[in-house]
Each structure stands twice: as structure tokens, then as C-alpha cells.
Structure 1
């Protein structure tokens, strides 16, 4: 990403959020990591809803997302149709299929879950690693989310 774009994004973040330690490199790194994550997720959703359902370039161009500049949409369509784009998509799908252990935290951060559990705990202690695992891999009905999670807790 061009340095100018990063500078513009950082200014936008600072204009919307009060970040007391904005010069701290870890804060900036975290912010850009979140931006990267959101960008990746948004591209994935856009591809699922505006690229995959259609079979021709004409259809894909006609039903592009409103938030995407048409010129940039053409570039995305071209990339997703290349050998490199298709191989990357296939490799990512295969990697995702190999994932055996899921968590139940949803969009809630582990840090937030930890603090909420600390607040519920009478002695004010934060949960240890095993308790955090249990908290983030158990469904609302008390069942572990998958066999791999159950095996991991049995091992621990």
C-alpha cells in the first residue's frame, strides 16, 4: 500500500477516534492490522455476493457493489479471473477446510471476554488460559463447539 494512503488512513482514524498514545508504534500497528482485516473480509463478502453468483464478465460488471469505483471493480474482476487469482482462492479454500477447531466468540474480542469474566469472578482474578479456552469454545447450551475443542480440553 502506498505510504500516502497509509498516512491518509491514519489521519482519518485520528479524526474519528481519540487515541492518547497515537505515536506509540504498537497502537498504529494494531490499527493497520484491523484495517487490513476489515478490508480482507469486505473483499471476501463482495466476491461472494457480486462475483461468484454470476458467470460472465458482463453480468459481474452490471452488478458491481455500489461502494466500489467501477474502474477498481474491473481490476478486481480481472484479477479474480486470472490463474493466480483462481489458484489463490483455491489454496485459501483448502486451508480453511483444514481448520478443525472453531471458537464461539463471534465479533467479541478475547480481551473483552477476559475482562467480563474477571468482573464476574468474586476474587477479581482473570481467567487462566484453560478457562479462556473453555469460555471461547463452548456454545450457549454448555456443549463444546466441536470434537477438536473437546479433545484439547481433555488433553489439558
Structure 2
């Protein structure tokens, strides 16, 4: 059996270890998306914030149900390590919300279906108990079936890896000095390294 190499979890230890006096300023493009090397590190860092159970408990079953004071706590954590203007607060919290949801999806895939106990030390025990009980409910099972059906319809996957489209656009435009159109960017992010496109459509 072939052994597949998988990317491990991102911890951003270099960022968490920096004092507030050394926090980096995040630059955003005209679409309100972080760009550049700092922008990429910033979005990776937001994923680690999304996994902070004390600030963003996973036993809240929907991002909209997470108390606003908890989201404010997460925003304050971000501000401790990155210099982000208030005007980008909405995008930042929305991105954390997406990564918070992805974090729970990972936990479900890894620990729920096989029925294994959750051994991830980033998970708070009583939160896991509440989340596990929710996943066993008939409502959650119904939502799961619907979501799986919707995901099966997605056949055109991008080839950009963990890099955001905004950072990809920034790097390409900086290197060529040319402004990319949306169709051009779409083609570049849906073409494999061997030059083949992911889908003829």
C-alpha cells in the first residue's frame, strides 16, 4: 500500500512567540483581501485562532451562535500579533468563522465516524462532549446528508493549494507588471503543474 504524505497542522509558533511591539502590519488589496508574504502568514495565523477553544468554543453549533463577546476576544487576540485596521475586522472575523467551521469538519472526519475518543490536545474535553452529542442528533445527521450531496456536485477543484487567490494574484501581477482579469486568474488557478486543466468546461 502506498504511503501518502500529508501536511501536518499549522501552529504558527514564530508568530505566537512575538511580542506586541514586533507585530506586523497586514496589507490588503482593493478587494479587502490580505496579500503578500505577511498576508499569507496572517491567514494561516487566523486558522490557529479559530482553534482556540477558550475564545471560540466548538460546542456552539453554528458560527452565528458564537457569542459576540467571544468573537471580540478573538479579534483582540489578532490585534495582539498583527496590525490590522478596524475596517478589515469584518473580513478577519468572517475568515476565522470559516476556519472554525473547517476545524470542526476535521474533528468530525478524524474522530467521530470511527468512534475514536478525541485525542487532539487542542480540544477542550467538555466542549467535545457537547459537540459529539450534537453530531449524533437527528437534525445534525440530516444536515450532514444534505452537505455531502452538495459537496458531491463540486467537480472543478482549484490547484492553488493553501495559497489564497488574492496572494496568487498579487504575486503574478507583481512579477509580470500586468493586471490579471478574472478569467485569466481562474485559468491559472485551475491548471495543474503539467499544464493540464482540471476540467474542460
TM category (shorter chain) comes to 0.7 to 0.9
Deviation at 1:116, TM superposition (A): 1.7
Tell whether the 8 Å contact from 1:118 to 1:125 is kept in structure 2 after alignment. Answer: yes
Q: Over the residues paired in the alignment, what is the CA RMSD in angstroms? A: 1.4
Secondary structure at the residue paired with 1:125? coil
Secondary structure at the residue paired with 2:158? coil
Matches of 2:190 and 2:184, distance apart in 1: 10
Deviation at 1:9, TM superposition (A): 1.0
Matches of 1:130 and 1:7, distance apart in 2: 37
Deviation at 1:66, TM superposition (A): 2.2
Say whether residues 1:108 and 2:169 are aligned partners. Answer: no
Deviation at 1:3, TM superposition (A): 1.9
Unaligned runs of 5+ in 1: 55-59, 152-156
Structure 2 counterpart of 1:136: 189
Q: Could you say which structure has the higher helix fraction?
A: 1
Residue 3 of structure 1, aligned match among 58, 68, 72:
68
Say whether residues 1:12 and 2:102 are aligned partners. Answer: no
Say whether residues 1:125 and 2:178 are aligned partners. Answer: yes
Question: What stretches of structure 1 move > 4 A for 4+ residues in a row?
Answer: none
Q: Deviations over 1:113-138 (max 9, x none)?
A: 112221232xx121112211110110
Matches of 2:72 and 2:173, distance apart in 1: 37
TM-score in terms of structure 2 length: 0.64
Matches of 2:174 and 2:71, distance apart in 1: 37
Structure 1 counterpart of 2:12: none
Unaligned runs of 5+ in 2: 1-65
TM-score in terms of structure 1 length: 0.81
Tell whether the 8 Å contact from 1:64 to 1:70 is kept in structure 2 after alignment. Answer: no
Matches of 1:4 and 1:120, distance apart in 2: 42
Secondary structure at the residue paired with 1:106? coil
Residue 83 of structure 1, aligned match among 120, 138, 155:
138
Aligned length: 136
Structure 2 counterpart of 1:68: 123
Residue 32 of structure 1, aligned match among 68, 80, 93:
93
Structure 2 counterpart of 1:154: none
Deviation at 1:44, TM superposition (A): 0.7
